A = this chain, B = another copy of it.
Amino acid sequence: MKKKDVPSLVKDERLIKKRRDQIVKAAVHLFNQKGYHKATTREVAQASGFSIGTLYEYIGSKEDILYLVCDAVYDEVVEKWETLMDENLHGLDRLYQVIEAYFRVVDDLQNEVLVMYQESKSLSEEALSYVLEKEMRMKEMFEKELIKAKELELIQIEEGQLSMVCHNILVAGHMWTFRRWALHKEYTIDTYCKWQINQLFYGLSVNKSATKTITKVQQNLETEGTV
């Protein structure tokens, strides 16, 4: 899926970048406050520091603003993430850090991530799939790390579990923003990282003598024929 083309009537690429940065910054703030649908293009223009006419010199439609935001947020997340990484770490330490760094970037870019998260569904199919593709690329970053760790025999992970765990990690990051009404009361970003990583690697530490196979539960449910 290609980058969606956002039309501009202006030629100067440098100016386009500058104005769009202004737009994104203003839009993130506004969309956070009122949501994408309730924020008006006029408001975005004003918050960006120019007129509605000028706004439309740099975008083709309101949706483009949302697209620019989502696009920018992914880039910013990845960029900051890379800044945080210590390339000297190895083994499990590296794995922990990749995840923790991600959580911390999300914490840092809370508003941005939240907007992208809550409003991206309003994108057109074309724009959405581009954005989702970026999401998948982030997922792949975790997959790579996990596969590497598995190959190094640092962790044991079954085939089917791999992808799901990466989804879980990503969503655990998002959660920190979209469930902040609850989580921020109970956790700091430090404790949140600690417990999420702990949970991710060690689970609920099942007392082994109590273990029964999940398969059995499955069977029970299936014989009941419900759902």
Contacts and interface: CB of A to CB of B under 8 A. Distances in A.
A197 interface: yes
A201 B192 CA distance: 18
A6 interface: no
Copies of this protein in the complex: 4
A196 B164 contact: yes
A8 interface: no
Contact of A203 (B139, B186, B203, B224): B203
Interface residues of A, number: 81
B171 A194 contact: no
Contacts of A2: none
A66 B138 CA distance: 33
Nearest to A186: B163
Given A90-B227, A164-B187, A168-B199, 19 more contacts: A86-B220, A92-B206, A97-B220, A100-B221, A101-B227, A104-B226, A108-B227, A118-B121, A153-B210, A156-B210, A157-B205, A164-B186, A164-B192, A171-B172, A171-B179, A202-B204, A202-B206, A202-B207, A206-B211
A1 to B, nearest CB: 13
Contacts of A154: 206-207, 210, 214
